[in-house]
Amino acid sequence: MEQSLSSGRLIKAPENFLNQNGIKTVFSEAKKGRRDFIRNAFVAAASGAAVPVAMAQVNPVPTEGGDPNILTLPAHSVGLGQGVAQNDGYGKPSQFESGVQRRQSPGLTQTTQASVSFAPLQSLFGIVTPSGLHFERHHQGWWDIDPSKHRLMINGMVKTAKVFTLDEIMRLPAVSRFHFIECGANTAVEWGNVAVPTVQYTHGMVSCSEFTGVPLITLLELAGADLKNGKFVLAEGADGSSMTRTIPMSLIKSGEVFVAYGQNGEMLRPEQGYPLRLIVPGIQGVSWVKYLRRLEVGDMPYATKDEAIHYMDLMPSGLHRQYSGIQECKSVVTTPSGGQVLLDKGFYNITGLAWSGKGKIKKVDVSVDGGRNWRTTRLQDPVMSKALTRFNIDWVWDGKPTIIQSRAVDETGFVQPTYQQLRAVRGTRSIYHNNAIQSWLVQENGEVKNVQVS
């Protein structure tokens, strides 16, 4: 970057677009059958949110004279700070980052126990999602289960049915791997048209962690599983919804699937399935069964409730596509992104995330003219299989309106599709597996909006 080129300033996106009264209004409108209730609610809330948030985040350097933030020593430079191991011995974020939180989206569900929270992608760095900001999806709420009483049973086509305690599992040889987990319904509200304003709500049902646990194949071998005739494994959770999912034995034999008790160097959080959950890399999050209590080996798919009724793709022909769990190649620009404001012309670092359920990300291209021209970005190390990958590219904004997009390619050669390409084969009435290219419109006044390019 040339020394004479000024760096542009960027205002963060508002962290919360709706208060509790606004959410209640959204629910009321939804009951009346209004199809656009989510979009209208966000638009109305966003129109009054950006200006005060922007002003609160700006502390400009004076154009003339000295900067009081340098000339006057602050209290933290002349006083005694707080002692170690405060906050009950567990570290917490700065008070100035308290707005960076998981957020619920209005209109998805009316009970918090069967709902979802979105990770604040626009405020994160690197590829690891802090455990406290990892997105949530629950079907009947979360539990903090006593690990001493939790058990994992293995039965079905096995020589000897086994029951493991958590201690017994934790004594077995372990693996630690970085993987993304994405809800199959991530970006679902955007299938028909633009619905929500920020990347937290469009793509925030994806997170990436280092998980630690025992390969599932190890546990099956201890039970003497019939690995020749047993083609599938049923995974069952211990929460009230009794979430059950079919896992192909081919994935398990590869060694990728494992039973985890650790996340980001500590035990799983209760919201993430403590004390045990299944890790199925590259497959939609509903198959990563939380509070895992039973594994049954069988010779055919189980067609459970959430496989025969939900988590299927409605095709243009009217047929439903079942067992389509792979999360295909996808990416999104997180900065600049919806709700943010560019204050100046000049240099910006465009950054975002890419991922693929089929392996490593090979490259990510970015366009700043609505897809007419593309430039290849820098992939930030590490680049790992079935994990989030951070990309960056330099950009100089000339102050004119522009549309920013990213397009990922994975190691299989799969290219992330446009909305036009995706809808040509999937229609517009789907819910799951929307991996279309995301577009952000940078307006002349610097405000960034969510748009779709056909």
The pLDDT tens digits of the residues spanning 282-313 come to: 999 999 999 999 999 999 999 998 888 888 88
User: Nearest CA to 323 among 184, 442, 429, 204?
Assistant: 184
3-state secondary structure of 241: coil
The residue that leads in pLDDT, 384 or 89, is 384
The pLDDT tens digits of the residues spanning 136-181 come to: 998 888 999 999 999 999 999 999 999 999 999 999 999 999 999 9
pLDDT at 45 over 80: no
Contacts of residue 147, defined as CB under 8 A and 6 or more positions apart, other chains included, come to 166, 274, 275
- Cα separation, 108 vs 133, in Å, equals 19
From residue 452, give the alpha-carbon distance in Å to each of 12, 47, 137, 420.
22, 19, 26, 10
The pLDDT tens digits of the residues spanning 56-92 come to: 445 777 777 788 888 888 898 899 988 888 888 899 8
- Cα separation, 348 vs 8, in Å, equals 6
pLDDT at 33 over 80: no
The answer to whether the CB of 147 falls within 8 A of the CB of 132 is no
Q: Would you call 279 exposed, middle or buried from its count of C-beta atoms within 10 A (0-12, 13-18, 19+)?
A: buried
The two structure tokens encoding residue 94 = 């700065």
Q: What is the pLDDT of residue 35?
A: 46
Name the pTM for this structure.
0.90
Dihedrals phi, psi of 342, to nearest 5 degrees: -90, 120
Question: Among the ranges 81-90, 94-103, 135-144, 343-352, which has the highest mean pLDDT value?
Answer: 343-352
* DSSP string covering 56-70: HT--PPPSSS--HHH
- Cα separation, 263 vs 210, in Å, equals 6
Q: What is the pLDDT of residue 236?
A: 97
Q: What is the pLDDT of residue 32?
A: 55
Dihedrals phi, psi of 21, to nearest 5 degrees: -65, -40
Q: What is the pLDDT of residue 3?
A: 45
Left, alpha or beta for 226 (phi > 0: left; psi -120 to 50: alpha)?
Answer: beta
Q: Distance between terminal CA atoms of the chain?
A: 34
pLDDT at 233 over 50: yes
Q: What is the pLDDT of residue 18?
A: 54
Q: What is the pLDDT of residue 55?
A: 38
- Cα separation, 150 vs 166, in Å, equals 7
Q: What is the pLDDT of residue 56?
A: 40
Question: Among the ranges 12-26, 97-111, 210-224, which has the highest mean pLDDT value?
Answer: 210-224
The two structure tokens encoding residue 109 = 């569900």
Query: How many helices and strands, by DSSP H and E, does the chain display?
Result: 11, 26
Helix (H) or strand (E) run with residue 45 in it: helix 37-47
- Cα separation, 246 vs 179, in Å, equals 20
Q: What is the pLDDT of residue 160?
A: 97
Whether a cis peptide bond, with omega within 30° of 0, leads into 275 is: yes
- Cα separation, 214 vs 222, in Å, equals 12
Q: What is the pLDDT of residue 69?
A: 86
390 pLDDT band, cuts 50/70/90, is very high
User: Nearest CA to 272 among 134, 115, 179, 90?
Assistant: 134
Among 13-17, 100-104, 201-205, 309-313, the least confident range: 13-17
* DSSP string covering 167-204: HHHHTS--EEEEEEEE-TTTTGGGSSS---SSHHHHH-
Contacts of residue 225, defined as CB under 8 A and 6 or more positions apart, other chains included, come to 154, 156, 157, 158, 159, 297
- Cα separation, 285 vs 432, in Å, equals 12
Over range 95-119, report the average pLDDT.
Answer: 82
Over range 366-380, report the average pLDDT.
Answer: 98
Identify the residue whose tokens are 């959430």: 306
Over range 341-354, report the average pLDDT.
Answer: 95
The residue that leads in pLDDT, 182 or 4, is 182
Query: Kind of pairing, strands 292-298 and 151-156?
Result: parallel
The answer to whether the CB of 152 falls within 8 A of the CB of 164 is yes
Over range 120-129, report the average pLDDT.
Answer: 97
- Cα separation, 262 vs 255, in Å, equals 18
Over range 177-189, report the average pLDDT.
Answer: 95
Q: What is the pLDDT of residue 323?
A: 82
